[in-house]
Amino acid sequence: MQGDVVRRGRLTGERAGDMMHFLSSMKADRCIADADILVDIAHVMMLNKQKILGDEHARGLLSALLQIYDEGVPEAAFDDRYEDIHAGIESTLIAAVGEEVGGRLHIGRSRNDEVVTCMRLRLREDILKQLTALVRLREVLLTLAEEHHGTVMPGFTHFQHAQPTTLAHWMLAYEQAFARDFDRLWEAYDRVNRSPLGAAAFASTTYPINRELTAGMLGFSGLVENTMDAVASRDFALEVLADLTIMMATASRLCDDLILWSSGFIGFVTLDDAFCSTSSIMPQKKNPDTAEIMRAKAASLLGSFTAACATTKGLPMSYNRDLQELTPSLWRGVWDAKHSSRLLVDMLATARFHPDRMEAEAGKGNSTATDLADMLVRDYGLPFRTAHTIVGRAVQNGTLDLPTLDEAAKEVTGTDLSSRGLTAEKVRDALDVRQSVALRKARGGPAELSVKVACQERKEHLQKDQDSLDERMAAVSGALSRLIRDARGLVQ
C-alpha cells in the first residue's frame, strides 16, 4: 500500500487493521471505481479549460488517468486500508506520476462532491439497465398475453374462486403494474442525472471552476444547484430504492402466484427445472426456489430502503460520514432488483402453463353466480341487490339450478322466477364460463376483443418506452465517448 495522501498531514499514528476495515468504504466502492476515473478525467479537463491547471500538468494527469481507464483501476487502489477508493486512486496515482503532477488532481474539489458524483453516474447506469430489464419483462408478459387470450382460468379474490377470467388478463395486469415501475424509475432518473461536482466540501471553491462544463462532459442533464444540498442529499438514492422496493413488491406477488400455481393442488403451471431445486431427502421433490428467493428479495429491498432512509434522517447539514454507510444498501438493492427482474423474464418465458387445468377450475365455486344475478337484472328487471340475494340464497340452499332458484326467489320476494319465464336453459347459459368471459367487454376486461385491443395498445406503449430508453442510453454513451476522445486529444 502507498502512503494515504489524505491522512498524512493532519493525523499521526498507525491505525489498527480492524479499525481501518471498519471505517473504509472500499468494498462498496468497487461499484464506483470506474465512475471515479471518468469524474477525474472530466475534472482535470475542466481545470485545464479554466486555466486553473496548465497544459503540461493536465497532460500528465490525463495520460495517467487514461491509462487507468484503458487498463482498469489497479488492484493496489482497492486496499481497504485506504478510507475509500478516492484516497486509493489518488494515492496510487501520486505514487505513479509523482506529486508534482499527481498532487494537482484534487484542486477545487472534495471527496464529498466526488463520491456523490460517482454514485449518481453509477446509479444512472443501473437505472438504465433496470429499465431495460423492465422492458424485457413487459415484452414477455405481452407475448404470453397474446398467446393466451383464449385461456380461461379462475380469477381469485381472497384466494377463493371468484369469477372466470383469462390468463391473458392476468398477464396484462402484471404488465401494466411493471409499466408503472418503469415510469417511476424513468422520472427518478431525471433527478439522479444531475451533477454535484464542484460543490467541493459543501461551500464550492475559490477557483474559477465551471460546473456546467463538467456536468455536460459527464452526460448529466444539469446541476444539483446548491452546493450544500449537492453533497448532503441522498434522496435521489432513497427515491430509486423506494421505486425498486415497489417494483419488487409486484414481482414478489407474481412469484407468489407462480409458487401457488405450481403446487400439485393447483397445477396451473410447470416451472422449468432450471428455476427449481429438489430436496436432499425427498427424491420426488421439485421446489420453486427461484420464485421463493425472489419473494424474499422483495423483503431485502425494503430493508435496504429502510436502512438507507434511516441513515439520513437525523443528520445535520451537510456531509456526514454516516452517508458512507448508506451506499452499500443502495448497491445491494439495485443488484437484487436487477437480477430478480432478469430472472423473472426467463422464468416466465420458459414456464409451461396448463390451459386444461385452468379451464377445469374456472367454473368451480359457483364462479359465474354474478353472471346469473346480472341476467336476472337484465332480463327480469330485478334490482341488483334483490338478484344478488336470490342467487346467494340459492347457493346456500344447494346448487344454482332452476328449482333452487325458484325456491330462493320465493323466500326472498314471495314469487318464483319460472312463472316469469325463467327456464333451466337460460340458467345454464348464464352460468357458462366462456360466455361469462365473452360478456366482460368493458375496457380493460378479459373478453377477447378487450384483451386484443389492450395487447395492441400496450405493445405500442412499450415500443415508445423502448425508443425513449434507447435515446437516453445513446445520450449517455455519446457524452462519455466524447469525454474520452477529447481527453485523448489533449494528451496527444
Decide: is 227 part of the binding site for ligand ARG (CB under 6 A).
no
Q: Residues with Cβ < 8 Å from 478, sequence gap 6 or more?
A: 219
Return the range that interacts with ligand ARG (CB under 6 A); candidates 55-63, 126-134, 150-158, 322-330. Answer: 322-330
Nearer to ligand ARG by C-beta: 327 or 404? 327
Decide: is 323 part of the binding site for ligand ARG (CB under 6 A).
yes
Nearest approach, Cβ of 19 to ligand ARG (angstroms)? 15
Q: Cell 320465493 belongs to which residue?
A: 410
The Cα–Cα gap between 301 and 187 comes to 20
Nearest approach, Cβ of 324 to ligand ARG (angstroms)? 4
Nearer to ligand ARG by C-beta: 82 or 305? 82
Nearer to ligand ARG by C-beta: 80 or 175? 80
The Cα–Cα gap between 165 and 437 comes to 6
Nearest approach, Cβ of 311 to ligand ARG (angstroms)? 11
The Cα–Cα gap between 155 and 176 comes to 17
Single out the residue of 390, 455, 463 nearest to residue 427, CA to CA: 390
Cell of 421: 319465464
Nearest approach, Cβ of 206 to ligand ARG (angstroms)? 19
Nearer to ligand ARG by C-beta: 28 or 394? 28
Residues in the chain: 492
Q: Residues with Cβ < 8 Å from 485, sequence gap 6 or more?
A: none
Instruction: Write down the H helix ranges in 158-261.
Output: 167-192, 211-217, 227-232, 235-261
Cell of 414: 314471495
Residues 114-153 close enough to bind ligand ARG by CB under 6 A: 115
Nearer to ligand ARG by C-beta: 86 or 440? 86
Nearest approach, Cβ of 345 to ligand ARG (angstroms)? 33
Is residue 279 annotated as a catalytic residue, yes or no? yes
The Cα–Cα gap between 148 and 62 comes to 57
Exactly one of 91, 214, 227, 327 binds ligand ARG (CB under 6 A); which one?
Answer: 327
Indicate the pairing of strand 352-353 with strand 269-270: antiparallel
- By rule CB under 6 A, what count of residues binds ligand ARG? 10
Exactly one of 78, 319, 331, 353 binds ligand ARG (CB under 6 A); which one?
Answer: 319
Nearest approach, Cβ of 26 to ligand ARG (angstroms)? 9
Other CB atoms within 10 Å distance of the CB of residue 438: 14
The Cα–Cα gap between 407 and 416 comes to 7
Nearest approach, Cβ of 28 to ligand ARG (angstroms)? 8
The Cα–Cα gap between 10 and 139 comes to 57
Looking at the DSSP assignment, which residues form a beta bridge with residue 161? 156
Return the range that interacts with ligand ARG (CB under 6 A); candidates 258-266, 281-289, 315-323, 331-339. Answer: 315-323
Give the DSSP H or E segment for 470.
Answer: helix 448-491
Nearest approach, Cβ of 27 to ligand ARG (angstroms)? 11
Nearer to ligand ARG by C-beta: 111 or 148? 111
Single out the residue of 34, 36, 77, 41 nearest to residue 59, CA to CA: 41
Query: Of residues 21, 263, 279, 468, which has the active-site annotation?
Result: 279
Return the range that interacts with ligand ARG (CB under 6 A); candidates 54-62, 97-105, 245-253, 316-324. Answer: 316-324
Is residue 24 annotated as a catalytic residue, yes or no? no
Q: 170-174 long-range CB contacts below 8 Å, 24 or more apart?
A: 170/257, 171/141, 171/142, 171/144, 171/145, 172/141, 172/142, 172/145, 172/451, 172/454, 172/455, 172/458, 174/141, 174/250, 174/254
Exactly one of 165, 227, 318, 324 binds ligand ARG (CB under 6 A); which one?
Answer: 324
Nearer to ligand ARG by C-beta: 227 or 436? 227
Contact string 464-483 vs ligand ARG (x = CB under 6 A): --------------------
Residues 15-44 close enough to bind ligand ARG by CB under 6 A: 25
Nearer to ligand ARG by C-beta: 23 or 453? 23
Contact string 82-121 vs ligand ARG (x = CB under 6 A): --x--------------------------xx--x------
- DSSP secondary structure code for residue 445 in this structure: S
Residues forming contacts to ligand ARG in the complex (CB under 6 A) are 25, 84, 111-112, 115, 319, 321, 323-324, 327
The residues annotated with a catalytic role in the active site are 158, 279
